[in-house]
């Protein structure tokens, strides 16, 4: 047990140290959401007219952009396993006298921490989206971001554990991350999607993360805004994310315990 | 006994990577695994280091069974992989610290060990620099230091000099010899550079997954033939006669140079110089391990075509050069 916790701690510490040292990565990870918010949000604002006082398309996609940032950072962190296992530090962990299942947990915690840090930076953009958030909302958002990040990193870790090549990595990028992102309801509400798409959106764990952010961020925006944008109750969002995260991290732990 | 391998086999689907090999390695020995790429060297190391599960056979490392007691095996060994496994965004010291934490080395001991090992590989003054700024040789030395942090009884070196330039390679072997002497550690190494295997006490030659020979470098070379001693002298006819009468050796003459086959060429040289007058020059040509491999397999050590991992490695090298 001590070895398990120490391994989790070492992996987490490593992830955090690396993240804080890579200033350019933080910057690019910040730049992409900013582009979505400013260019896409501003550009589509006139087309997607929402008849709610003090609420526009920018306010609508802002939680989605945070979700996107968390999704990309978390996935980026977990796919690095593919590389790391062949040419990196992970090999060193695999040959150490520690339980390998700890890799899945350490990686998920490390990736989640960096994703939350990344997401937190985006909170300063709330005024750009016409949303005024206060401390109580931030206190709620941080654990929700962490929960979404943990679920996604665990999922990514599980996929990466079973992927052996960099070609596989590109497959993940195209066939997992983009659909997860597009079906998350970041850019259009679940309720206005065509009937065939709605079940798919309801299967996307990221949708529950984005929806949880909306639940919290729109508390000051009135019931009309909430009715329009929010798809599920907060309790359901949290329950789905918790269940998904628990299942993924358990499967991830199993995947690493296997020896060929 | 540090390693005891009995009938170890590894199959990947239809392909047999390692075929029923058996050998033992004693405590304090430097044991070399020599063979071409793809011969099964790395697969054997991976099985002994509990990274791969054998398909058949048994092996004990430091007295522990590699399948039933993997944690104890892992605690007994240090590992230097074929490809670097350092985190190059961390400093040299941080890499060693994290290693120590994973091996549960107590804090005060760890601090002392890190100082000692950094000193041993000559990196003490670079310890707080990011590993990505290090040269290939420095990274290897850091990995040697890391493999020794938890004071293992056995150190695995998988192609430790692969990808390094000849000068750095020679330099690295000096460090490895130094480590073996000062740390009293058993070393199990693989290489496909014949001349580097010379430092081993014993060498196992592996080809297509099977052991084809196992002996000291001296004895292996003796299998191929004797040393050739070439003698240049003023009076070849007299010299040839003297060689026959004094040393009972039949010399052949090639372009005015006399050649004799003797078992220990170097020991023979002083006797020769004392016994035959008018010698201008003597040279000794000893069989190399390259000759041994050729003798055993009928082929020179060859390079296999690059597989998936080799391809990724090449990509990494290309990437490393750019940054």
Query: What average pLDDT score do residues B293-309 get?
Result: 61
The closest of A81, A149, A157 to A117, measured between CA atoms, is A149
Give the C-alpha distances (Å, rounded to integers) separating B190 from B160, B204, B205. 8, 9, 10
pLDDT digits (tens, 9 = 90+) for B10-64: 999 889 999 999 999 999 999 999 988 888 998 999 999 999 999 999 999 999 9
Opening angle at CA A1, ends B99 and B77, nearest 5: 35
Residue A95 with chain B: CB contacts under 8 Å: 49-51, 74, 77, 79
A49-63, A193-207, B165-179, B297-311: least confident range = B297-311
A2-6, A47-51, B69-73: least confident range = A47-51
DSSP-H helix ranges across chain B: 41-48, 70-76, 92-102, 107-120, 136-148, 166-183, 217-224, 236-247, 265-275, 289-297, 308-322
Residue B271 has a CB neighbour count (10 Å cut-off) of 12
Please say whether the beta carbons of B154 and B186 come within 8 A.
yes
Determine whether the interchain pair A21/B98 forms a contact, defined as Cβ–Cβ distance below 8 Å.
no
Residue B302, pLDDT above cutoff 60: no
Residue B312, pLDDT above cutoff 60: no
Residue B309, pLDDT above cutoff 70: no
Residue A102, pLDDT above cutoff 50: yes
Give the C-alpha distances (Å, rounded to integers) separating B144 from A42, B119, B155. 56, 12, 9
B32-36, B184-188, B213-217, B316-320: least confident range = B316-320
Name the residue in chain B with its Cα closest to that of A87: B85
How does residue A259 score in pLDDT terms, banded at 50, 70 and 90? low
Residue A7 with chain B: CB contacts under 8 Å: 102
Q: Which residue has the tokens 């991976």?
A: B46
pLDDT over 70, % of chain B: 93
Please say whether the beta carbons of A112 and A36 come within 8 A.
no
Please say whether the beta carbons of B242 and B209 come within 8 A.
no
| Cβ within 8 Å of residue B43, ≥6 positions away | B10, B17, B18, B52, B209
Helical (H) or strand (E) element with B285: strand B279-285
Determine whether the interchain pair A97/B74 forms a contact, defined as Cβ–Cβ distance below 8 Å.
yes
Mean pLDDT of the residues in chain A: 89
pLDDT over 90, % of chain B: 50
- Does residue B38 belong to the interface with chain A, where contact is any CB pair within 8 Å? no
Burial class (CB in 10 A: 0-12, 13-18, 19+), B201: middle
Please say whether the beta carbons of B313 and B83 come within 8 A.
yes
The Cα B193–Cα B262 span in angstroms is: 27
Say whether the ipTM exceeds 0.90: no
How does residue B301 score in pLDDT terms, banded at 50, 70 and 90? low
Tokens of residue A204, six digits: 């996307």
- Does residue B51 belong to the interface with chain A, where contact is any CB pair within 8 Å? yes
How does residue A171 score in pLDDT terms, banded at 50, 70 and 90? confident
Return the pLDDT at B308.
45
Its pTM stands at 0.83
Residue B144, pLDDT above cutoff 60: yes
Determine whether the interchain pair B102/A14 forms a contact, defined as Cβ–Cβ distance below 8 Å.
no
Return the pLDDT at B233.
87
If you ran DSSP here, which 8-state letter would residue A177 be given?
I
Return the pLDDT at B195.
77
Residue B104 with chain A: CB contacts under 8 Å: 2-3, 6, 97
CA distance B191 to chain A (A): 19
Return the pLDDT at B225.
79
Residue A164 with chain B: CB contacts under 8 Å: 308
Of A13, A92, A259, the CB nearest to B99: A92
pLDDT digits (tens, 9 = 90+) for A227-239: 888 999 999 999 9
b/e sequence B78-103, b meaning 16+ C-beta within 10 Å: bbbbbbbbbbbbbbbbbbbbbbbbbb
Return the pLDDT at A107.
93
Return the pLDDT at B306.
42
Return the pLDDT at A260.
54
Residue B313 with chain A: CB contacts under 8 Å: 87
The Cα A34–Cα A45 span in angstroms is: 15
- Does the CA dihedral A169-A170-A173-A179 come out positive or negative? negative
Give the mutation candidate from A25, A81, A92, A102 for the B interface (greatest B CB count, under 10 A). A92
The Cα B299–Cα B319 span in angstroms is: 34
């Amino acid at each position: 047990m001590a070895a398990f916790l120490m391994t989790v701690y070492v992996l987490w510490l490593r992830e955090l140290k690396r993240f804080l040292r890579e200033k350019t990565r933080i910057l690019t990870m910040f730049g992409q959401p900013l582009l979505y918010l400013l260019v896409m949000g501003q550009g589509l604002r006139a087309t997607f007219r929402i008849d709610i006082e003090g609420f526009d398309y920018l306010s609508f996609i802002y939680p989605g952009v945070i979700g996107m940032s968390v999704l990309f950072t978390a996935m980026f962190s977990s796919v690095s396993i593919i590389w790391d296992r062949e040419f990196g530090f992970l090999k060193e962990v695999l040959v150490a006298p520690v339980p390998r299942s700890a890799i899945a947990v350490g990686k998920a915690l490390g990736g989640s921490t960096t994703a939350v840090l990344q997401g937190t930076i985006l909170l300063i953009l709330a005024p750009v989206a016409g949303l005024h958030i206060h401390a109580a909302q931030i206190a709620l958002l941080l654990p929700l971001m962490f929960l979404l990040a943990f679920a996604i990193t665990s999922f990514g870790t599980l996929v990466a554990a079973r992927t052996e090549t960099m070609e596989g990595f590109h497959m993940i990028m195209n066939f997992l991350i983009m659909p997860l992102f597009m079906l998350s309801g970041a850019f259009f509400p679940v309720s206005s999607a065509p009937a065939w798409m709605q079940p798919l959106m309801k299967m996307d764990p990221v949708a529950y993360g984005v929806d949880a952010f909306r639940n919290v961020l729109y508390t000051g925006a009135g019931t009309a805004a909430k009715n329009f944008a929010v798809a599920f109750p907060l309790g359901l969002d949290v329950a789905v994310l918790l269940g998904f995260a628990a299942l993924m991290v358990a499967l991830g732990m199993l995947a690493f315990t296997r020896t060929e | 006994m540090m390693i005891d391998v009995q009938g170890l086999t590894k199959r990947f689907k239809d392909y047999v990577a390692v075929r029923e090999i058996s050998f033992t390695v004693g405590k304090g020995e430097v044991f070399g695994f020599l063979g071409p790429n793809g011969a099964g060297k790395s697969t054997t190391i991976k099985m002994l280091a509990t990274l791969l599960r054998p398909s058949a056979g048994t092996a004990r490392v430091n007295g522990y069974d590699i399948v039933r007691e993997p944690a104890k095996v892992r605690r007994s060994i240090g590992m230097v992989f074929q490809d670097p496994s350092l985190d190059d965004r961390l400093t040299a010291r941080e890499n060693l610290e994290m290693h120590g934490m994973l091996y549960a080395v107590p804090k005060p001991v760890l601090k002392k060990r890190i100082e000692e090992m950094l000193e041993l590989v000559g990196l003490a003054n670079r310890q707080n620099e990011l590993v990505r700024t290090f040269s290939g040789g420095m990274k290897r030395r850091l990995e040697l230091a890391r493999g020794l942090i938890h004071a293992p009884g056995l150190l695995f070196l998988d192609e430790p000099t692969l990808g390094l330039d000849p000068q750095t390679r020679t330099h690295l072997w000096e460090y490895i010899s130094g480590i073996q002497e000062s740390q009293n550690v058993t070393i199990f190494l693989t290489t496909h550079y014949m001349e580097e295997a010379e430092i081993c006490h014993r060498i196992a030659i592996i080809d297509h997954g099977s052991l084809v020979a196992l002996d000291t470098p001296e004895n292996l070379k003796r299998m191929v033939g004797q040393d050739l001693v070439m003698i240049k002298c003023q009076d070849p006819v007299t010299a040839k006669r003297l060689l026959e009468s004094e040393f009972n050796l039949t010399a052949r003459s090639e372009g005015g140079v006399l050649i004799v086959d003797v078992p220990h060429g170097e020991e023979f040289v002083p006797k020769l110089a004392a016994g035959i007058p008018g010698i201008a020059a003597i040279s000794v040509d000893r069989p190399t391990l390259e000759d041994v491999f050729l003798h055993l397999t009928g082929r020179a050590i060859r390079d296999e075509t690059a597989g998936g991992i080799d391809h990724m490695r090449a990509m990494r090298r290309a990437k490393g050069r750019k940054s």
